[in-house]
Amino acid sequence: MKNSIVLMMSILLLVACGQKKSSSSENVTVQKTEVIDVAQVLDKAENSIDKEVVFKGWVSHVCKHSGRRCFLKSEDGSVSIRVEAGGQINGFNKELTGSQLRVVGVMKVKKLDEQYLDEWQAKVEAAHKHEDVEEGGEHCSAEMDNINEMREWMKKNGKDYYPIYFVNGTDYSILN
């Protein structure tokens, strides 16, 4: 009996000490790492591919089926970035919508080339011909606008692809 009490006291002491160390090391990490806004991380995205980024943003959407991704928007709401669950992140809860998060992850890019845009455009046009679109054809015109904007961006920037930046998240915390 005496041995069990000593063992329980030792376990409690270890757990309590472990918790203190964890919280103080988290504070040190936060203080050492600059946390930038989504807009700033996107400005640096091209030079941050496959590098760790730390940023903050407002959750505008959590994918309801899997919860494996969410979208964070900038402070002014002008831009957003997709965050994929990974590392310490098992998924995102839909209740996070409207919250401000601090995210740690690795910047990635998917490059949409001319062939991809041509195939996408063909699908949109085929759907339009079969009236397989939302009421009034709005869905079709919005997709065509996106495709045309991507093509214009490629010409303007002298690129043979349109970059879609996203983050493979490894950890996050709620800021508000």
- Give pLDDT, residue 64: 85
- Give pLDDT, residue 148: 93
- pLDDT higher than 60, residue 100: yes
Reported confidence tier of residue 65, pLDDT bands at 50, 70, 90: confident
83 contacts: CB under 8 Å, gap ≥ 6: 69, 70, 71, 72, 92, 103, 105, 166, 167, 169, 172
- Terminal CA-to-CA distance of the chain, rounded, Å? 46
Mean pLDDT score, 129-137: 55
Share of residues in the chain with pLDDT > 70 (%): 74
Mean pLDDT of the chain: 80
Mean pLDDT score, 7-20: 32
Distance of CA 133 to the CA centre of its chain: 29
- Give pLDDT, residue 33: 58
* Whole-angstrom distance, CA of residue 41 vs CA of residue 36: 7
* Whole-angstrom distance, CA of residue 124 vs CA of residue 82: 23
Confidence (pTM): 0.71
- Give pLDDT, residue 9: 33
34-176 domain in CATH 3.40.50.2300? no
- Give pLDDT, residue 153: 94
105 contacts: CB under 8 Å, gap ≥ 6: 52, 53, 83, 84, 86, 87, 167, 168, 169, 170, 171
